[in-house]
């Protein structure tokens, strides 16, 4: 889809459709008022008769509006004016794009940003309008022999800004929105592939593709022999039961002029299918376990977005990639393995495998002398119980780091929520036969926090945070599929870090 920016009046747009907003209680937005005046009260008559109440996300397409150059006018409900905030803005954009994409409007000019400028800067509006539009028009149909969704009528969206002087900033933020949207789409495509196609080797191919696309990205791939030489015993314990080969993927983004010193490190869980191993999962919904590499997909999506935007940062990505399968070679409950850190782990549940591969990846991150490390993982079902599907869980050993991620989540409308990391939660990880167990002795209680406590034992040498994305990485039901979260959160967080570093340098 093509995105453009312009400044102008809604009634003068020669386009297939002009999009304007209506608040609850039938209050016209500024642009709707302009069209109403030119059309001699056409819109106010319709609203007065109750055809559009202004409820958030409601839509009404109008044809042949008098004295308007556009073919159609789309009215979008904005909800209550005092409640029209970030999430409401995104919902209004999504509702409009969805209808336009279904009704054959090949292009449209949106006059919705003006309603947000009073509460949020214009740049944010443009960036997130682009991201929201991209989320709506996304489809994954290339595995279907008869593609009923092959037509995408909406080809071009133009966002109007109040003044011509707003155009330079809007153009910059539109580019940021496009890069983030493409990173999200890249992550969604990877995660939506079935596990017979999206194997650990496929993840290496996606990393290599990024390396070929961007000169700022370099990639190193460790195969099984090299992983064994590194003595990543926790990672290999998970990979043992599968016929497919494990890989440890290292990406590095370093633009020209940036020295490799103390990078930011992103670690993505790359379990391309999680059967649970010997601790086999229930059959119901096991197909969802192809999404257990969503953390890895998010890291790849972030690298694509960052490479497009080219900020002056040093960024490393680590992806331990394997399957977790039952077989005669698979790790058994009660087995004890030695991790890369040298610490021994009693594996009481082979379905608590994500923390095992992340343990070795977090230890591997030490060699970069990182400024900060953030791991991203669909780690615990308990996260869904705690937060549902609205927010990721944020944990860590540095409050400032965790808070910066939560703030980036608010700014990006890709939310996260902070959890306590009191030492008492880690008491249940004690083992009779090893340095620690991979699950707590308290059963399901505080499962997400206990899992984070386990990870913290391998992240003690740097500032570390953990994002448990089990509830936000994919949707179920009729909208089943990967979401690409938390690419937007992480891109926002990384760009914010660059801004703070630039400010510190004067």
Range of the domain at 104: 2-161
Whether residue 123 sits in one domain with residue 208: no
281 labelled catalytic: yes
Whether residue 238 sits in one domain with residue 118: no
Which residue, 103, 79, 84, 95, is CA-closest to 17? 103
Q: What is the DSSP pairing of strand 156-161 with strand 107-110?
A: parallel
Would you say residue 271 lies in a domain?
yes
For every residue of 209-267, DSSP letters joined together read: HHHHH-TTEEEEEE-HHHHHHHT-HHHHHHHTT-SSPPEEEEEEE--TT---SS-EEEE
Write out the two tokens for 106.
Answer: 């090949």
Distant-in-sequence, close-in-space partners of 177: CB < 8 Å, separation ≥ 6 = 3, 126, 127, 128, 129, 130, 131
Instruction: List per-residue pLDDT tens for the chain, 506 residues long.
Output: 899 999 999 999 999 999 999 999 999 999 999 999 999 999 999 999 999 999 999 999 999 999 999 999 999 999 999 899 889 999 999 999 999 999 888 999 999 876 665 556 889 999 999 999 999 999 998 898 876 654 567 999 999 998 899 899 999 999 999 999 999 999 999 999 999 999 999 999 999 999 999 999 999 999 999 999 999 999 999 999 999 999 999 999 999 999 888 999 999 999 999 999 999 999 998 999 999 999 999 999 999 999 999 999 999 999 999 999 999 999 999 999 999 999 999 999 999 999 999 999 999 999 999 999 999 999 999 999 999 999 999 999 999 999 999 999 999 999 999 999 999 999 999 999 999 999 999 888 999 999 999 999 999 999 999 999 999 999 999 899 999 999 999 999 999 988 776 666 65
Whether residue 156 sits in one domain with residue 216: no
pLDDT value at residue 175: 97
Q: How far is residue 363's CA from residue 348's CA, in Å, rounded to a whole number?
A: 21
Termini Cα distance of the chain: 38
Q: How far is residue 346's CA from residue 344's CA, in Å, rounded to a whole number?
A: 7
Would you say residue 206 lies in a domain?
yes
CA quadruple 471, 477, 481, 487: dihedral positive or negative? Answer: negative
Residue among 27, 281, 343, 403 flagged as catalytic: 281
Whether residue 426 sits in one domain with residue 315: yes
Q: How far is residue 418's CA from residue 378's CA, in Å, rounded to a whole number?
A: 16
pLDDT value at residue 105: 85
Report yes or no: 219 and 207 within 8 Å, Cβ to Cβ.
yes
Whether residue 121 sits in one domain with residue 205: no
Which residue, 296, 285, 291, is CA-closest to 320? 296
pLDDT value at residue 149: 56
72 labelled catalytic: no
- Count of domains for the chain: 2
Would you say residue 264 lies in a domain?
yes
Whether residue 126 sits in one domain with residue 204: no
Which residue, 214, 212, 232, 234, is CA-closest to 224? 232
C-alpha 341: how far from its chain's center? 30
Whether residue 211 sits in one domain with residue 78: no
pLDDT value at residue 89: 93
CB atoms within 10 A of CB 406: 20
Domain boundary among 161, 192, 224: 161
Would you say residue 305 lies in a domain?
yes
Residue among 72, 116, 355, 457 flagged as catalytic: 355
Q: How far is residue 309's CA from residue 293's CA, in Å, rounded to a whole number?
A: 25
pLDDT value at residue 142: 87
């Amino acid at each position: 889809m093509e995105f453009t920016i312009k400044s102008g009046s809604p009634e003068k747009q020669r386009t297939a459709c002009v999009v304007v907003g209506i608040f609850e209680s039938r209050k016209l937005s500024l642009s709707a008022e302009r069209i109403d005046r030119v059309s001699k009260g056409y819109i106010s008559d319709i609203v007065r008769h109750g055809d559009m109440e202004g409820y958030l996300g409601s839509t009404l397409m109008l044809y042949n509006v008098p004295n308007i150059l556009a073919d159609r006018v789309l009215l979008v409900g904005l909800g209550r004016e005092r409640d029209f905030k970030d999430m409401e803005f995104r919902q209004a954009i999504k509702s409009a794009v969805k209808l336009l994409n279904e009704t054959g409007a090949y292009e449209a000019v949106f006059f919705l940003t003006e309603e947000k400028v009073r509460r949020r800067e214009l740049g944010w509006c443009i960036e997130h309008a682009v991201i929201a539009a991209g989320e709506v028009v996304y489809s994954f149909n290339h595995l279907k022999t008869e593609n009923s969704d092959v037509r995408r009528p909406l080809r071009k969206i133009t966002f109007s800004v109040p003044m011509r002087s707003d155009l330079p900033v809007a153009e910059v933020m539109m580019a940021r929105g496009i890069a983030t949207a493409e990173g999200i789409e890249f992550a969604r495509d990877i995660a939506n592939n079935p596990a017979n196609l999206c194997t650990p080797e496929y993840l290496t191919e996606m990393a290599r593709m990024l390396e070929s696309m961007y000169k700022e990205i370099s990639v190193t791939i460790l195969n099984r022999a090299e992983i064994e030489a590194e003595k990543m015993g926790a990672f290999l314990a998970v990979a043992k039961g599968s016929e497919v080969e494990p890989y440890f993927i290292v990406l590095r983004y370093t633009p020209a002029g940036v020295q490799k010193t103390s990078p930011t490190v992103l670690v993505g869980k790359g379990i391309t299918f999680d059967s649970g191993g010997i601790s086999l999962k229930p059959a119901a919904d096991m197909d969802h376990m192809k999404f257990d590499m969503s953390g890895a997909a998010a890291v790849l999506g972030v690298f694509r977005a960052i490479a497009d935007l080219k900020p002056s940062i040093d960024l490393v990505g680590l992806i331990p990639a394997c399957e977790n399968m039952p077989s005669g070679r698979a790790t058994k409950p009660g087995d004890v393995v030695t991790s890369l850190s040298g610490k021994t782990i009693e594996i009481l549940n082979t379905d608590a495998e994500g923390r095992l591969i992340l343990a070795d990846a977090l230890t591997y991150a030490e060699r970069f002398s990182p400024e900060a490390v953030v791991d991203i993982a669909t780690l615990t079902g308990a996260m869904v119980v705690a937060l549902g599907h609205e927010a990721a869980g944020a944990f860590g050993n540095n409050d400032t780091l965790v808070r910066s991620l939560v703030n980036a989540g608010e700014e990006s409308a890709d939310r996260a929520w902070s959890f306590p990391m009191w030492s008492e939660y880690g008491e249940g990880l004690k083992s009779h036969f090893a340095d620690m167990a991979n699950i707590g002795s308290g059963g399901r209680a505080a499962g997400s926090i206990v899992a984070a406590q386990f990870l913290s034992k391998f992240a003690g040498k740097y500032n570390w945070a953990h994002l448990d994305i089990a509830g936000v990485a994919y949707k179920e039901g009729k909208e089943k599929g990967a979401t690409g979260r938390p690419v937007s959160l992480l891109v926002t967080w990384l760009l914010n870090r660059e801004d703070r570093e630039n400010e510190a340098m004067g």
